[in-house]
Structures are given as C-alpha cells and as structure tokens.
Amino acid sequence: MTTALPATPCRRRRLGPGALALAGLLALALPAQAAPAKYEIDPEHFHIGFLVNHAGVADVLGMFLEGKGSFTFDEEAGTVSDIRVVIDTKSVFTNHKKRDNHLRSPDFLNAAEFPEMVFAGARSEATGERTGKIEGTLNLLGVEKPVTLDITLTYSGKHPVGGAYVTGISARGSFQRSAFGMTYGVDNGLVGDEVKLILSFEALRQ
C-alpha cells in the first residue's frame, strides 16, 4: 500500500534535511529525489524490546535479538510503501534461560512452528512535527490483528560515522497477547495479558 504525505505548514517553512518524514508521518522539506528509495533497517542497530507484567508485582523486560525490516520512501512524491518488520521469535531473551525456553514453547511464542512475527504497516498519520502513528497488522502465532505504533523521528541525514544516509526511529505500541491465542497465565494473573513493544532502529537508504 502507498500512503501520501499530507501537506503541512512545515513544508512552507522549508525545514532542513534533519526533518525527513518517515512512513508518511512527517511532511517536512528535503531535497527532492529522482525516484523512490528503499530503506533497510540496519540489523546492528535494531533494538526490539518488550514489557510484560509478572504476577502483578513488576514488569519483566525482554528483547528479541534478531530482526529485520524495510520500507520504500519517495521524497519527491511524499509517499511511503512496503512497511514491513520481521522479528525472529527464537531470539527472545530475558536473561533467564529457563524462562526463555518457556517463552519459545507452545505456551507462548511456539517458535518451532511460528519462527517469525511480522508487522506490516497499512496507514499512517502525522501527530506532530516529528511524531506520528502507523496503523498496521501484527501476524503472531498465525493470527493477524491490528496494531498501532506511535513513532518519533530521532534523526535523518548523513550518519556521523561513515556518512551513509540514515533515518533514526523510536516506536512504541502494545497488544493483548490473548487476542492471538497466547493465553498461558492470563486467567490466574501470573503473566500479564498486555505486551508493551519498544522499537528503536537506524534505517539505511539503499
């Protein structure tokens, strides 16, 4: 799906290259490009975290150590398409081996049968000069449900190290895991139903 960036006063103010819009969220001024450009998330700078409550006492912080993603952005037309983030469920890590093995089991992620969970962006909306929302779907355990990510643009331009053109993004979202059929520990309150997502990455223009 392709999303057009809405016109905003930010364009008329001619802000500099540091205010690039990502994923149809931020309509800011940059030099026009001759053709759409593909962006790939740098796997060495891709951080995927989550928070889930344990027994009503405290949140457990976990990570997925492996993931990838990409999108296509046309600066001249102001359109974005092909937003896709893929997370390796086997790479779950909470710094506790027994718990991590349990999370990979059919009680939770069932990583042997479903090695990936996938977020695909469908629609975007600007909420501020450097913030916005991406509405999409999350495919987890073979079930697809809507999920919305709140986005903050943290950087766009030539990387201070190496000079490649990059965009930095911070994203937050949440979902109820029971909606995907992951119900272990929900009824007795042992494991929280809400999963809070934390994404941070650098994307390289190809």
Residue of 147, 136, 148, 134 whose CA lies nearest to 180: 147
Contact 124, 25 (CB under 8 A): yes
Kindly report, residue by residue over 37-48, the tens digit of the pLDDT: 899 999 999 999
Residue segments in the chain with a per-residue pLDDT below the cut of 50 = 1-34, 78
Record the tokens describing residue 155, joined without a space: 């950087």
Predicted confidence at residue 76, as pLDDT, reads 59
Kindly report, residue by residue over 114-154, the tens digit of the pLDDT: 999 999 998 877 788 888 888 999 999 999 999 999 988 88
| Structural domain harbouring 137 | 2-205
CATH number (domain holding residue 87) = 2.40.128.110
Residue of 167, 145, 165, 164 whose CA lies nearest to 156: 167
What's the structural domain count of the chain?
Answer: 1
